Amino acid sequence: MTGAKTDHRRTRKRRWWYIRLVFWALFILWFARYAYVRWTTPPAAYAERTTPSPLDDTVAQEFMAAVQALPPIPSPTSRPAFGWGPWGAGGVVVDGIHGPWSPDSRPDLCQALKYVRQSQVNEALDRIVAATEGARQAGAETVLAAGFRAPSGWLQANECVAPMIALAFRARYRHTEQANLAGALADLRAALFVSQRDYVVLSLAGGWWGDQWVSFIPQFELACLVQERDIPPLLAREMVEFLKTKLSLSVGQTVAFHSGLHQDIQQLLDRYYTDDGEGNGWLVLSAAHDVQFMFGMGPSAPRSEFWNLFSPLFNDRRTMAAKFVRQVEALERLDSVDYRGGRAIVTGQRQPGRAVSLLDGPLMKVTSGIDPEFYQVGFAQVMRRRAIVVMLALSAYKHEHGEYPATLEALVPSYLDEVPLDAFTHEPFRYTRDSPSSYDLGPARPLDDELYQTWPLRDFDFPADSYLPQRGEIRVPDQTEGE
Amino acid sequence: MSESPEIVPEFWPPVEPIEPVKPWRVHWLLALPATVPAMLFPRRVGAHLAASSWAAAYVVHVLSVLLFFGAFLAPALEGVLTGVFETSAAPAAYTLAEHVRRPFAADVLFLYGMLNNWIEVGIFWLVVGVVEVGMWVAALALIPLYAAGEQRARLYLRCVKLLLWSTMCLIPLGVVVFPVGEWLGEDLSGEWVALFVAGWAFWWFTVLVRLGGRYAGPKTGPRWSPRTPTCESCGYTLTGLPVNGRCPECGRAVQDSLPERRRLPAFASARWPSEWIIGFVQTTWAALAERRFARGVSVWRGYRAARNYAFVVCLLIGLLCACGTAPFWPPDDVDFQPFSRPAMSLVAGITAFSCGVAWLLVAGVGVTGFGFRHAAARVVVLYYSTAWLLVVALLGLAGAWAIYVIHYRFHPHGFFDWPVLRWIEKELFIAAWVMMPAVVTLILSFFRVRWMLRETRYANG
């Protein structure tokens, strides 16, 4: 009796054993397939083109090599707390070249000038300018994409700050001491291009507010230059084209740059998500190592495809695409409203329940709505760019006619296709010719306090009254030059 | 016809054999849902959890730890963007399914961001390995708590398994505490968080203890084995000797070694709450004052009551420290004091309770030789010996009060300050003297426990 019971139990146990075996075999097969697919499937961008374009790599690597060839900037001896080196240096430099100074009062600026006069530095800066020219010809987006694809070798954002400042310094040196206007403008174009690239990297990365200040330097230097010199129309036209096409005069596009949405959504998704052909796909975590989404994260380093096994935890491509579309729609509306309206749009995106979702993975910073700070900075940049475009045209007009025009309409069509509007109010700029050789250019209405009081604008009030032509050229006395 | 003398039998039957619970094994796929009844009824469910597979234990352990850390990390990671500034973004509204994914996504994102190279990956796995090995080592401390009289290897593995299961208590901590903190924001002070975490730790400990309250394994081990009659004094085998005789080895009366000679203390015999209090007082008095307490107390029965007695003593010590130290703490406005006065008293009480429990665990491991001796029998003696800790705590508190009073005698307007800065010689001297009774009692209690353990070394009952 007991034996029969035992046998019965054993038989039942054996039957369960086979069921378990089948279950586990199926599970292992399923998991093996799952792991294989996750391990081997690249993002859509890689799938379409498994190796980066030689052009992209050449341009990106040349730029990288040129920046790295720049000799290290000496630590300032006079102001150790405010170096003009890569970190947080912009404020001091701008303070220096903005107001009156003398070699005695600002020995650090003497150091800076001596630095850009070195032949090795000049060679490196020439390479940077050439590389950025090449990059612009290849298309900024291509180069930036190449940078994203090769993040392990790509520069950290702050590495671009030093060449940016050095280029701005050299531009001043070139047009004040060497009368090389074309060279100065080329330097400033390169510096502006680098500053824009900075934003793109940073907006996907953790975010670093120092760059607002630093990237302001080449803009400020360009504004000074066009008021100190009469620019030949050809050079002015080239610069205007650069500002309009390679940078942007659109608030929406500029803020998009700052928010990481500078490019086509499809491209952005292709870089990090697979594509199943029906508009969906999963996050390839191993490809997202260039996105620094948290503080304390080390420099971008390749990640194993093992991480892709966890991608089901995060939102899929379709969900992300919907979020991006919402973002872009908001961005597109920014050019049709004034500053206050734009700020309301931006703030509205970050309301509770709509913004930060951890399930967006490393891209949660991009999908968490446009940071109002980015909006403010981008807006201020566009205001300055539009003003500089007008000032370039005015300078070219004066170069040909010997005096500034009576109205801005005189600039069209010879110097400008159309006069850009004041971004703040979407109205024409306030322009008054004080004398044949001086003018007052400003916003149509007094700037909003909130916008005006942000520090990037405070030191760059483009009306001529706040600009001091006599602030001093960057010129060091001979006895200092010899040191 | 003369009546033949009563003879000591070859074996004595097991004392109070525990009837194991019929195991109801939890499948690993159902392990996570099983944590709910386990947390609500740990004593009832614990035996079934211990009988379940290792896969189930590790599934719960890993998921609990991941959930806890994920719940902790998620707001931190989102906090980078959802700061306190006006321009910060607000958190998303998650659906229920997304709430489940969120902590795991946070874990993955955190590790993804932190592990930048193979060295960091190696360090991470090393830390994980050390923690997991630490769990297996820490399980040794549970041996005295969980001993049901089974074989020691089985006992140890049960301790490990239930310790793994007990990490399920992290789930409510992660699921409740951090969201509540997030919700309350600035209003939830560090004091309340600390008290909440302390409360959670207490709850976790009670769950841990109660998980091992019942046994569901086979009836093999000292508890169910017939015991050879031995002389309680020297361990000589008494089989076949007349009950009225004496031990041939040491001369002790055989009757003194009979199982029925040992009885449960009053606390273990109590059935009603009113009896518990009287029983507690009687047992404490007996443990302290009766010289032959260990010779008469039953160590093979009343294990659970002895354990409860020890915990009551620890609770009393905590309560005494909380109330007794209340006037010592400086006023609330002192900068260096993190909590308010009542909270500091509570912290003192919790600390004293924790010290008592820690002492029980460590000493339990020591006296049972990591489970190599009959754990259940030896720890019963240890538990009743905690009465001495109560005396030590009382004397220590009295000493502290004496210092406090003396201090105020010299500094009537100051708040209590441990005498290390000024008056150091005189006050330290006084402090040393008034604390001397507590120290001496503590030292004596060590010898007393050791003696009690020797008295019960060959206990038959």
State the ipTM, two decimals.
0.75
CB-CB neighbours of A203 under 10 Å: 25
Task: Return the percentage of chain B with pLDDT > 90, whole number.
Answer: 31
Q: Flag the least confident range among A125-139, A287-301, A330-344, B442-456.
A: A287-301
Minimal CA separation from B115 to chain A, in Å: 8
Which of B78, B90, B105 has its CB closest to that of A350?
A: B90
Q: For B322-348, what is the mean pLDDT?
A: 72
pLDDT confidence of residue B224: 84
Chain A closest-CA separation from residue B43 CA (Å): 30
Global pTM? 0.75
Q: Parallel, antiparallel, or unpaired for β A430-435 and A438-442?
A: antiparallel
- As a dihedral over the C-alpha atoms of residue A126, residue A127, residue A129, residue A130, rounded to 10 degrees, the angle is 120
pLDDT digit string, tens, across residues B115-171: 888 898 999 999 999 999 999 999 998 888 888 888 888 999 999 999 999 999 999
Six token digits for residue B221 = 């081990």
A483 vs B220, higher pLDDT: B220
pLDDT top residue among A54 and B323: B323
Q: Is B113 on the interface with A (CB under 8 A)?
A: yes
**Model confidence band, residue B50 (pLDDT cutoffs 50, 70, 90):** very high
Per-residue confidence (pLDDT) for residue B131, from 0 to 100: 96
Average pLDDT over every residue of A105-128: 78
- Encoded tokens for A370: 């446009």
- Do residue B105 and residue A359 have CB atoms under 8 angstroms apart? yes
**Measured between CB atoms, does B92 come within 8 Å of chain A?**
yes
| pLDDT value of position A213 | 55
Of B81, B88, B116, the CB nearest to A301: B116
- From the list B81, B113, B117, which residue is nearest A368 (CB)? B81
Q: Convert the pLDDT of each residue in B58-95 to its tens digit.
A: 999 999 999 999 988 887 787 765 554 455 556 667 78
Is the Cβ pair A303, B112 closer than 8 Å? yes
Provide the shortest C-alpha distance from residue A151 to chain B (in Å).
13
Mean confidence (pLDDT) of chain A? 72
Long-range contacts of B330-334 (CB under 8 A, 24+ apart): B330/B415, B330/B416, B331/B415, B334/B415
Q: Output the pLDDT for position B338.
A: 60
Q: What pLDDT does residue B151 have?
A: 86
Q: A66 CB contacts (<8 Å, ≥6 apart)?
A: A124, A127, A128, A130, A131
- What is the average pLDDT score of chain B? 84
What local confidence, expressed as pLDDT, does residue A296 receive?
60
Choose the closest CB to A365 out of B81, B102, B112: B81
Tell whether A294 lies on the interface with B, counting CB pairs under 8 A.
yes
Q: What residues are paired with A439 via a beta bridge?
A: A433
Report the range out of A46-55, A61-70, A236-245, B126-135 with the highest average pLDDT. Answer: B126-135
Choice among A23-27, A158-162, A316-320, B411-415 with the minimum mean pLDDT: B411-415
* DSSP conformation letters of B379-406: HHHHHHTTHHHHHHHHHHHHHHHHHHHH
**Given pLDDT bands bounded at 50, 70 and 90, which one contains residue B345?**
confident
Chain A CA closest to residue B73: A358
The number of residues making up chain B comes to: 461
* pLDDT (0 to 100) of residue A159: 62
- Looking at the complex, does the CB of residue A351 fall below 8 Å from at least one CB of chain B? yes
DSSP string, A84-137: -SSSS-HHHHHHHHHS---TTT-HHHHHHHHHHHSHHHHHHHHHHHHHHHHHHH
